[in-house]
């Protein structure tokens, strides 16, 4: 009889998208770190558009409810909240479903600040939060050419999950 494990796919892909508007007078959080800038991202929680997209990619990969359903922006509890909380919950659900994160690839679209000088710090922090190596987190930053979105930050993220070996999956010894 096939074990339950055999019925689950070996790999699963997830995709997340998010956007937030720049507002003066708040800190800019991106990928779990604070970047020096004269504006931050408003909206849900601390506005960390990258962590929100990573969270939704993780949740999407296991067909779980999305970030807005789990942490409603209308709930004052999440106002200014650290987005790491959302990511940790999504990661817990991924692990509970029997999967581990293989790699993540992200594109950030924003006019400013320049991400290049901070890219390694962001990749390192996202990798640390996901429990994977830094070279398993891809990060590209683009300016919004022709999009007329100078005051927004957008994130697109894909994530690949791998099924964790089940405890029952050890090779069977043949009895003699
Ligand atoms: Zn968001």
10 C-alpha vs ligand 1 centroid, how far in Å?
29
Ligand 1 centroid to 150 CA: how many Å? 17
* Band (8; pLDDT cuts 50, 70, 90): confident
pTM value > 0.85: yes
Interval 30-57: pLDDT, tens: 999 999 999 999 988 999 999 999 999 9
List all residues 6 or more positions away from 174 whose beta carbon is below 8 Å from its beta carbon.
none
User: For the residues of 35-64, what is the DSSP string, one character each?
Assistant: EP-SEEE-SSTT--HHHHHHHHHHHHHTT-
Q: Does the pLDDT at position 137 exceed 80?
A: yes
How far apart are the C-alpha atoms of 147 and 162, rounded to whole Å? 35
Nearest to 91 by CA among 53, 58, 50: 58
Could you read off the pLDDT of 81-100 as tens digits, one per residue?
A: 999 999 999 999 999 999 99
Cα of 29 vs centre of ligand 1, distance in Å, is 11
**Domain layout of the chain by residue ranges:** 10-164
Q: How far is the CA of 20 from the centre of ligand 1 (A)?
A: 6
pLDDT of 168 > 80? The answer is: no
Confidence of residue 165 (pLDDT cuts 50, 70, 90): confident
> What gap in Å lies between CA 55 and CA 88, rounded to an integer?
8
Tokens 């390694």 appear where?
120
Mean pLDDT value across residues 108-119: 96
Tokens describing residue 114: 């320049």
Q: How far is the CA of 176 from the centre of ligand 1 (A)?
A: 59
Pairing state between β 39-41 and 11-24: antiparallel
Q: What is the CATH number of domain 10-164?
A: 3.30.1330.50
Contact 97, 162 (CB under 8 A): no
What 3-state class would DSSP assign to 7? helix
C-beta separation of 34 from 42 below 8 A: no
């Amino acid at each position: 009889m096939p074990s339950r494990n055999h019925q689950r796919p070996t790999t699963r892909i997830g995709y997340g998208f998010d956007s937030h508007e720049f507002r003066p007078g708040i800190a800019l959080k991106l990928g779990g770190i604070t970047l020096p800038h004269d504006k931050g991202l408003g909206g849900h929680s601390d506005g960390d558009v990258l962590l929100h997209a990573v969270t939704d990619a993780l949740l999407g990969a296991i067909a779980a409810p999305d970030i807005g359903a789990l942490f409603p922006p209308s709930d004052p509890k999440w106002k200014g909240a650290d987005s790491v909380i959302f990511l940790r919950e999504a990661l817990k659900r991924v692990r509970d479903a029997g999967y581990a994160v293989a790699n993540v690839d992200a594109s950030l679209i924003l006019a400013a600040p320049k991400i290049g000088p901070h890219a390694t710090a962001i990749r390192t922090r996202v990798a640390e939060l996901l429990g994977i190596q830094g070279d398993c987190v891809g990060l590209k930053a683009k300016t919004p050419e022709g999009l007329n979105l100078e005051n927004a930050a957008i994130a697109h993220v894909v994530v690949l999950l791998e099924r964790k070996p089940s405890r029952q999956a050890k090779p069977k010894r043949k009895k003699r």
